[in-house]
Structure 1
Amino acid sequence: RYLHQLDSADRQEPSLARATKTVRLKDKIATLKEEMRRLEKLEARMLATPDQQISLTDPDARSMATSGRGSGMVGYNVQAAVDTKHHLIVAHEVTNVGTDRPQLSSMAKQAKTALETEALDVVADRGYFNSEQILACDEAGITVTLPKPLTSNNKAKGRFVKQDFRYVTDEDAYICPAGERLVYRYTNEEKGLTLRRYWTAACQGCAIKGRCTTGHERRITRWEHEHVLEAVQQRLDEHPEKMRQRRQTVEHPFGTIKSWMGSTHFQMKTLKRVGTEMALHVLAYNIKRAMNIMGIAPLIAAMGA
């Protein structure tokens, strides 16, 4: 039978085989062109959105930053403020903003309102560090403690970083590691922030210039509200244990809720529905915590009072 098939193939006209192959290739090219047109339409839709993102499964879902470099996932950003004593969630919010940096003052103010207090101490991780957000908290009577992310690689290269330069308030000048004074030169505005610039002319003859800068001179930038950020850093230096306390506090409810959810996705779609789903999770968590803290009978009595 196999030899018979070979003989049949040998007798087949070459033009027929070629024609069949040509038709197949044309079909594939037509399919690829159709896919390109579909993708071009999606690209036009994507570029027309404010954040230049679209999700084909959930219109409100957006790309979320994750801890892995160059990685991410499409979903929602859940924010929570947790009290350190009882680990109750006092405020929460679901957003589709991909990072935590714009969330600090909003969540802190919600927690302050929920607790009905005039002053509030807030501890957050470095992902929330944002100068304007910290200033907004300070103006609202909220004391913030969080570490500043290292945005410069000077320290890894063995060079001095800004923290090595001491600011002298009375003189409005910085003292560098070599003991030279970096004096104020000018003020400019950058990304909506008013910044003051400092440097000295002594860098060229400095013996440790190689550990400081590769430029003509080392320049230091100071925000007009830098004292607020310095107070945050001072609090962290005086109480480094607060970062451990933060992990023990906020990770507890998140870990518990994720365990209930099976560490899987939200069941709902769109921001409004996902927000409702998360609100039910938070309600269930807080009720269970209150049962563990107060006991079932006292909780029922308190709810009925």
Structure 2
Amino acid sequence: MVEEREVKINKTDPESGYMYRTGKPEGFFYLDHRTVDFKYNIITDVHITAGNVHDASPYIERLERQTERFKFAVEAVALDAGYLTASICKELQAKKIFAVIGNRRFQSTKGLFPKWKFTFDKANAKYVCPNGQDLVYRTTNREGYQEYHCDPKICKSCPMLESCTRSKTHKKIITRHVWEESKEWVRQNRLTKSGKMLYKKRSQTIERSFADAKELHGLRYCRFRGREHVQEQALLTAACQNMKKIANHLARLA
């Protein structure tokens, strides 16, 4: 029996989406996915989606739209942790764009070893556990994750078993995405001097742009119903913000 997922629909505005995220308000919302330039904090793209659309979903499409429309030669991007997906990392690496993305370390089950305790041996395509035993490749699932399995016969007598797995069959499985190397490339970028500077700059640009839109331009609330109408509100807001930015920069040059 396949369990159906419950989808909440707003009868007042069916095009909005129900958002539930840790540390965020819960309810029906629209999301503003925007891009700003590094130097002047000018908004270069605004895209509205329902609140239940993941931040990463429209990203590559919006990036390509800007490069095609404005002929931008994008050298680097800085994104928050919501964009740290294997597909985005792979695309940015393929486009030779220096990518810096915030890290989100997922909490492991209390009392068990976190994944980083298992060392990946690229040369031999295997993981090595904290006790020095191998987890070898078995298969790749439909989601693109390679599965590395331990040998239960060895693990059942391991002194670290209770800190490794709670499986009744003493089996431990570590998964690794086929594009995991691209994510590791992004993580290394974040630790470089340029990466740290870029990520720090992000809070001074895009986060400030969002705050300005909400606090000074009324974008905290939708004035209309329907995604297209909310898109119009967001575009007009961005236009006002950009005019202010451009005027301020021109005044400094005068």
**So what's the TM-score if we normalise by structure 1?**
0.69
Contact 1:102/1:133 (<8 A) preserved = no
Contact 2:219/2:237 (<8 A) preserved = no
Contact 1:93/1:275 (<8 A) preserved = yes
Match of 1:254 in 2: 210
The counterpart of 1:84, out of the listed 25, 31, 38, is 38
Q: C-alpha displacement at 1:260, in angstroms?
A: 2.1
Asked whether 1:280 is paired with 2:236, we answer: yes
Contact 2:213/2:237 (<8 A) preserved = yes
- Distance in 2 between residues matched to 1:243 and 1:159, nearest whole Å: 31
Deviations 1:202-229 (A, max 9, x none): 4233332322222313221122222112
Contact 1:188/1:195 (<8 A) preserved = yes
- Distance in 2 between residues matched to 1:230 and 1:297, nearest whole Å: 42
Asked whether 1:68 is paired with 2:18, we answer: no
Match of 2:116 in 1: 163
Contact 2:125/2:136 (<8 A) preserved = yes
- Distance in 1 between residues matched to 2:227 and 2:59, nearest whole Å: 20
How has the CA–CA distance of structure 1 residues 269 and 76 changed in structure 2, closer, same or farther, with 3 Å as cutoff? same
Asked whether 1:267 is paired with 2:223, we answer: yes
Q: C-alpha displacement at 1:95, in angstroms?
A: 1.2
SS state of the match for residue 57, structure 1?
A: coil
Match of 1:199 in 2: 149
Q: Which runs of 5+ in 2 are unaligned?
A: none
Contact 1:160/1:211 (<8 A) preserved = yes
What is the identity, as a one-letter code, of the residue corresponding to 1:226? E
Q: Which of 256-265 and 51-60 deviates more? A: 51-60
Deviations 1:255-284 (A, max 9, x none): 111122346422222211211111111111
- Distance in 1 between residues matched to 2:131 and 2:92, nearest whole Å: 36
- Distance in 2 between residues matched to 1:67 and 1:88, nearest whole Å: 30
**Bigger proportion of residues as helix:** 1
Q: C-alpha displacement at 1:194, in angstroms?
A: 2.7
RMSD (Å), alpha carbons: 2.9
Q: C-alpha displacement at 1:252, in angstroms?
A: 0.8
Match of 1:209 in 2: 161
Asked whether 1:220 is paired with 2:174, we answer: yes
SS state of the match for residue 58, structure 2?
A: helix
How has the CA–CA distance of structure 1 residues 181 and 67 changed in structure 2, closer, same or farther, with 3 Å as cutoff? closer
Q: C-alpha displacement at 1:296, in angstroms?
A: 8.4
Percent sequence identity is: 23
Q: Which runs of 5+ in 1 are unaligned?
A: 1-46, 299-305
The counterpart of 1:145, out of the listed 87, 100, 119, is 100
Q: Which has the higher contact order (CA 8 A, sep 6+)?
A: 2
Q: C-alpha displacement at 1:77, in angstroms?
A: 0.8
SS state of the match for residue 90, structure 1?
A: strand
Q: C-alpha displacement at 1:160, in angstroms?
A: 2.0
Match of 1:3 in 2: none
SS state of the match for residue 76, structure 1?
A: strand
What is the identity, as a one-letter code, of the residue corresponding to 1:245? K
SS state of the match for residue 177, structure 1?
A: coil
**So what's the TM-score if we normalise by structure 2?**
0.81
How has the CA–CA distance of structure 1 residues 237 and 180 changed in structure 2, closer, same or farther, with 3 Å as cutoff? farther
Q: C-alpha displacement at 1:67, in angstroms?
A: 4.0
